[in-house]
Amino acid sequence: MTLTILLILVVITLLIFVVSWHLKILFLFFLYLVLKRYIKPTYKRASGRSAFVLFVVLFLSFFPNRKSDANNYIQSVYFNHSTNEEIRMPILPYMTNIIGEGDIMSVICLISKVLPRSLSLGSSAANDVINYSKNIPFLKNNFHMEYRSLERERPPPHTVPFQLLKGMGWYNNITHYYLHIPIEKNENTEVIVFCHGYTGNWLLYSELFAQYTDAIIIAVETPNFVGYFSKKTIYNILKTIIPHAYKRIGIKNKKAHLIGLSNGGSAINNSIKYYPDSFKSYTILSASLNNSPPPLIMANIIYGANDRSGGVNKTISKSKYQKHVISNEDHSLLVSKPDVVMGIINQIIARDN
């Protein structure tokens, strides 16, 4: 029995470093239930009631809110795109937040430590993420440690289950985006529209942009899990999401900088082709520039030298883009070197504002 208790304590101690606060509270409550047998009978009933009440209060206090306040560090905004009325996050995807993005990434990063290096997941991007996790100490891995930093700012619910369900035909009248508004926002504050690719719109990237830039961040997603930004998706961003976000922020008539990561590079390629005058600048991260920018437009490409998805179509003139290749990096570039990538992005924003 002593060994069982010791193992439970070790597991709980490890979990404290790698999961969200509401899960820490849940695990501690389970630990209490395991150890309850050692409490004297005269105190057992009273302690049980007190522990349950304390658990419920603390669990609900740390569980993400369904609707964002205008002062939240990162706001998660859901609205009916027919009426523009803001709504709460749908209950089904909300309940899945019992397990957060950061919790899932913690498990993936832990598993990466024991996976054989010869294992191929059939995706160069996934392999790069696994290799990054293998080569860096667990408590310095930004794929999950950034979520622990974000907890100080009370993160909103993650939206990946919502996107999965939407791709299956649910919630067709609902649109979502993440929004970060800097405390020192003024009329000169720049706006970044960020487009992530496959597997959805992660809180991690909104946190990185909020941490390393002084810009307003509008993080958008595709209406499915694939992360390909079609002409129609970009049109909806321009005509529906950006106006809604600007009204919430209190600004208008301001061009944003468009940034696309991985599959989100499709947002850059299609915007250059179909909406070339709609954004101040166009930056591709860890993806390829496939369409040639029109006159007076220059694209920016940032990628790791070892990233097989980064590059420029050979038919595009060198005068139409500026390329930044980071040596010894791969598809995990933005997470492994956020200071380097954001430094380049800040230079681009300063140049093109």
Give CA–CA dist 194/177, Å, rounded. 10
75-100+151-352: what fold?
A: Rossmann fold (3.40.50)
Contact 147, 17 (CB under 8 A): no
Backbone angles phi, psi at 122, to 5 degrees: 80, 5
Tokens of 94: 């909300």
The CA dihedral of 137, 138, 139, 141, to the nearest 10 degrees, is: 90
| Segment 245-303, tens digit of pLDDT | 999 999 988 999 999 999 999 999 999 999 999 999 999 999 999 999 988 889 999 99
Return the CA Rg of the chain.
22
Does the CA dihedral 270-274-278-280 come out positive or negative?
A: positive
Query: If you search the block for the tokens 């027919």, which residue do you land on?
Result: 82
The H or E element containing residue 84 is none
The residue that leads in pLDDT, 10 or 117, is 117
With bands split at pLDDT 50, 70 and 90, how would you rate the model's confidence at 119? low
- CATH 3.40.50.1820 domain range(s) in the chain: 75-100+151-352
Instruction: Kindly report the pTM of this predicted structure.
Output: 0.92
| Segment 289-326, tens digit of pLDDT | 999 998 888 999 999 999 989 999 999 999 999 999 99
CB atoms within 10 A of CB 223: 17
Contact 80, 174 (CB under 8 A): yes
Name the percent of the chain lying above pLDDT 70: 94
Determine how β-strand 256-261 pairs with β-strand 191-195: parallel
The H or E element containing residue 302 is strand 299-304
